[in-house]
């Protein structure tokens, strides 16, 4: 059989997981799911990541979930390496590799190739964090705008992680990170890319709010309390910067949970906006309105054609 790779991308709360499981039941070939999510890789972070349940993972094989500790980091380069290996193994079993998630950088890196960027420099990052503590991230963003206006224009002034990385790359490479984009060879993956995009943004906003309230009811605050109690984690780690976890950590630090839902829902809406912006920059995607009544059937039809090709 011909190798088959299907990508299902979409913003948070767009229904990706449910549609992925429906695809697994509907396609003529066995399906294995590869997570394309920078938060699902972390062990012990289940509620706030909407991690697939044990029953769902038993019904359909899932990969790249629960593979590292929250104290560790996971890069786009590692994702590409792991995903390419898994795709080859899944296709060798004559199964369909279904890549599902909302980390658009990972999709872009896998499909278009990974930029040849310098590795992280812990000492430089510590210096940038020190500067940010004194000046604030909006001022660091203003500095980035002076040296790399292209990158600064697509980052929020409070997006500490990406501002730090862009400044780090400039200091290490001597060039703006935007000038390095597109410098890598293609990764050699040519999948069907199905993009779940809502016609009505209010539909997505309502789902985001409902899901976060469900997470609170399921014990998200206690989950973050347990992570804080471990002793090896801190707020600056990538794992603890994940949406929902960052706001809950900060609320516990302040001793004030009263505005947690409001802050986390607003942050998640901003995340969804960024995810949709990434998707619109992928011209070869097949768009499906995730708020349409027949969204699942449309995705299944597209996937069936790809699996039969």
Q: In which region does residue 44 sit, left (phi positive, over 0), alpha (psi from -120 to 50) or beta (all else)?
A: left
pLDDT at position 186 over 50:
no
Kindly report the three-state secondary structure assignment for every residue of the chain. CCCCEEEEECCCCCCHHHHHHHHHHHCCCCEEEEEECCCCCECCCCCCCCCCCHHHHHHCCEECCCCECCCCCCCHHHHHHHHHHHHHHHHHCCCEEEEEECCHHHHHHHHHCCCCCCCCCHHHHHHHHHHHHHHCHHHHHHHHHHHCHHHHHCCCCCCHHHHHHHHHHHHHHCCCHHHHCCCCCCCCCCCEEEEECCCCHHHHHHHHHHHHHHHHHHCHHHHHHHHHHCCCCCCCCCHHHCCCHHHHHHHHHHCCCCCHHHHHHHHHHHHHHHHHHHHHCCCCCEEECCCCCCHHHHHHHHHHHHHHC
Q: Which of 2-11, 138-147, 242-251 has the lowest mean pLDDT?
A: 2-11
Inter-residue long-range contacts of 227-232, CB under 8 Å, 24+ positions, other chains counted? 227/44, 227/45, 227/70, 228/252, 232/71
Measured in residues, the chain has a length of 309
Distance CA 205, CA 208 (A): 5
Percentage of the chain lying above the pLDDT 90 cut: 78
Under the banding of pLDDT at 50, 70 and 90, the label for residue 308 is: confident
How much is the average pLDDT of 286-297? Answer: 97
Q: Read off φ and ψ for residue 190, nearest 5 degrees.
A: -125, 70
- State if pTM tops 0.85: no
pLDDT per residue over 60-73, tens digit each?
Answer: 999 999 999 999 98
Please say whether the beta carbons of 13 and 272 come within 8 A.
Answer: yes
pLDDT at position 136 over 50:
yes
Distance CA 202, CA 213 (A): 17
Distance CA 214, CA 268 (A): 14
pLDDT per residue over 74-122, tens digit each?
Answer: 988 899 999 999 999 999 999 999 999 999 999 988 988 766 677 788 8
How much is the average pLDDT of 36-56? Answer: 97
Among residues 176, 154, 56, the alpha carbon closest in space to that of 104 is found at 154
- Mean pLDDT, the chain, whole residue set: 92
pLDDT at position 185 is: 42
How much is the average pLDDT of 126-139? Answer: 94
pLDDT at position 183 is: 45
């Amino acid at each position: 059989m011909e190798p088959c790779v299907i990508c299902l991308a979409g913003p948070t709360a767009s229904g990706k997981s449910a549609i992925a499981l429906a695809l697994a039941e509907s396609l003529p070939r066995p399906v294995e799911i590869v997570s394309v999510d920078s938060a699902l890789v972390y062990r012990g972070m289940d509620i706030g990541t909407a991690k697939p349940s044990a029953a769902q993972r038993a019904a359909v094989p899932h990969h790249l979930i629960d593979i590292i500790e929250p104290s560790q980091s996971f890069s786009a380069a590692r994702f590409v390496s792991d995903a390419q290996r898994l795709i080859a193994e899944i296709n060798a079993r004559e199964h369909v590799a279904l890549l599902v998630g909302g980390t658009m950088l990972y999709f872009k890196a896998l499909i278009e190739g990974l930029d040849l960027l310098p590795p992280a420099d812990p000492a430089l990052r510590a210096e940038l964090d020190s500067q940010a503590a004194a000046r604030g991230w909006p001022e660091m963003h203003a500095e980035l705008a002076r040296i790399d206006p292209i990158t600064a224009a697509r980052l929020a002034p409070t997006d500490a992680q990406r501002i730090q990385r862009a400044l780090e790359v400039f200091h290490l490479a001597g060039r703006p990170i935007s000038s390095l984009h597109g410098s890598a060879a293609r990764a050699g993956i040519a999948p069907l890319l199905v993009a779940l995009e809502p016609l009505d943004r209010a539909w997505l906003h309502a789902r985001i709010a409902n899901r976060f309230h469900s997470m609170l009811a399921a014990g998200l605050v206690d989950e973050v309390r347990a992570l804080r109690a471990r002793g090896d984690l801190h707020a600056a780690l990538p794992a603890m910067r994940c949406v929902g976890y960052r706001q809950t950590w900060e609320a516990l630090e302040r001793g004030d949970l009263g505005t947690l839902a409001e802050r986390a829902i607003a942050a998640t809406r901003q995340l969804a906006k960024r995810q949709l912006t990434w998707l619109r920059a992928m011209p070869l995607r097949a768009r499906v309105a995730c708020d349409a009544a027949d969204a699942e059937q449309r995705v299944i039809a597209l996937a069936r054609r790809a699996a039969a090709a």
